[in-house]
Amino acid sequence: MLHFLERQLEKKVKVAEYLYLNNGQAIEKRVAQELGISMSSIQQYFKEIDQLYQAYRTNGTVYNSHSLLKITDGFVSQSIKMKLLKIIVYYPGQQSSFYKQSLNLSDATFSRLVAQLRMDLSRYEIRLLIKNGYQIEGKEELNIIGFFTHLAFFYKWSLSELREVITKLGGENELKEIDQLSFDSITVVHSKLEDHFLSYFFLVAVIRSYQKNTFFEKDKCYAECVITTLKAWLRESYLESIIKVEEKFDQLLPFSFANHIHPKNYSQVKAILVSTLVQLRLLPFRISISPRIQFFENKFAQVSPEEFATMRSFLYRASRILRADLLKRQDNISFFLITNAEMYQKEFTPSIIQIYSSIGEKHAQYILKKVQPLSAFFDDTLAMTCVSERSELMADGKSVVLTTDLLPELQVGRQYLVSDFVSLSEIVRMGIWLKEFLLL
């Protein structure tokens, strides 16, 4: 969904990712050709973004995931086009003067941005119309809700902002109802990521219901019944998807991407397939729920091209068997299956991971909390512990050290350098390194 940024900002984000992937050694000519921009522009981008990496460097590491996230978030915050789309989503039905004054836009700039947004929205069969002010319309209200949910989740719109809009619309009772929802009774993928996504889903739906007073297939429905209607739709969608996956699952075996996967982990594969089928019913277009997950897929394709190819082969086969285009959510499925199944279902040598931070023991505890989920994927072969003093670190062959600084007294190959802020993509890379390091 980066195409909702201005083209220049979208290309800068991609340049920042190229530099990260190649540790600052990306070839300017190749990047310029891939992005379709001139050499003078790419040189300017490289210089600007390299300076940002230098400014955000962590523990001497220039091209790290924390810096990449800050750089890309910074570019997103500069997007006037995204700000215009957001204000139209929050406050539809206004005349052009309202939006121009809110963002201090000239007539020409406003017209240009509206034309670009119309083209971007058409990818999802959604239209930006002038009808009693500026309105966003589509064939099905549910798909519009699904699109707004993905948009808000992808660009990390503030949940407090969404709640504030609902409060202004008079939806205090709906907010209380949302706060009392239990997603465990609705979904089969019990993850914080999915719960967070569904929080956006219900908030967006309440906003749309107040704005439109219509819901599924032009049926009249007031805002009070939207949450009940959505809960019923989600339960029905998950149930239908569960039945389909259970009936067809045997045809997906054996997994070409995971020859050693244990049957006890089949439930994880089923869960992501079920979740994806529901996502496609909500919005049947190719989309990613997060730029970080999309970036992870690019990283994985570069680091492990053969595994990436077998993963795509599996998705083609699963799409045919389940009669759903799973490639529209390829990066999400790949991320889940790689990190939760294939990567960790082989036999590993027992090991101890010691965590040391030069900042102090509290920071080491913070790192432990962030990386602790990795231990579950190695069964009982992996133990994690914090070390407060460098003298306590073990140098034997059974220990690995996660450290914020390279320690000269220990073998370099047994150390893994982590940033002060451990991001999701960094944890994934750590998992890949542990897999290679501990595999028997």
Residue where a domain terminates, one of 344, 363, 395: 344
Residue 71 lies in a domain: yes
Residue 193 lies in a domain: no
Are 125 and 139 spatial neighbours (Cβ–Cβ below 8 Å)? Answer: yes
The total number of residues written for the chain in this structure: 440
Confidence of residue 295 (pLDDT cuts 50, 70, 90): low
Confidence of residue 422 (pLDDT cuts 50, 70, 90): confident
Give ∠ CA 35-334-68 in degrees, rounded to 5: 45
Q: Which of 12-16, 55-59, 227-231, 284-288 has the lowest mean pLDDT?
A: 55-59
Phi, then psi, of 92 in degrees rounded to 5: -75, 170
Give ∠ CA 198-179-169 in degrees, rounded to 5: 90
Q: Which of 238-247, 324-333, 368-377 has the lowest mean pLDDT?
A: 368-377
| pLDDT tens, residue by residue, 157-187 | 999 999 999 999 888 989 999 999 888 767 7
Rounded to two decimals, the pTM is 0.70
Task: Quote the pLDDT of residue 257.
Answer: 55
Task: Quote the pLDDT of residue 140.
Answer: 87
Place of tokens 């019923």: 232
Residue 115 lies in a domain: no
Residue 98 lies in a domain: no
Mean pLDDT over each residue of the chain, to the nearest integer: 82
Confidence of residue 120 (pLDDT cuts 50, 70, 90): very high
Identify the domain containing residue 284 by its residue range: 248-344
176: Cβ contacts below 8 Å, ≥ 6 apart: none
Residue 225 or 326, more confident: 326
Q: Which of 326, 399, 299 is nearest to 65 (CA)?
A: 299
Task: Quote the pLDDT of residue 439.
Answer: 54
248: Cβ contacts below 8 Å, ≥ 6 apart: 321, 322
Residue 373 lies in a domain: yes
Number of domains in the chain: 3
CA 12 – CA 49 distance, rounded (Å):
8
| pLDDT tens, residue by residue, 209-243 | 888 764 444 444 455 688 888 888 988 898 899 88
Task: Quote the pLDDT of residue 389.
Answer: 85
Give ∠ CA 390-393-396 in degrees, rounded to 5: 150
Confidence of residue 256 (pLDDT cuts 50, 70, 90): low
Are 78 and 9 spatial neighbours (Cβ–Cβ below 8 Å)? Answer: yes
Per 3-state DSSP, what percentage of the chain is helix, strand, and coil (rounded to 5)? 65, 10, 25
Are 171 and 210 spatial neighbours (Cβ–Cβ below 8 Å)? Answer: yes
Q: Based on the domain organization, do 321 and 387 belong to the same domain?
A: no
User: Does position 373 have pLDDT exceeding 80, yes or no?
Assistant: no
Residue 11 lies in a domain: yes
Q: Based on the domain organization, do 336 and 406 belong to the same domain?
A: no
Q: Based on the domain organization, do 253 and 339 belong to the same domain?
A: yes
Task: Quote the pLDDT of residue 27.
Answer: 78
Residue 128 lies in a domain: no
Task: Quote the pLDDT of residue 74.
Answer: 92
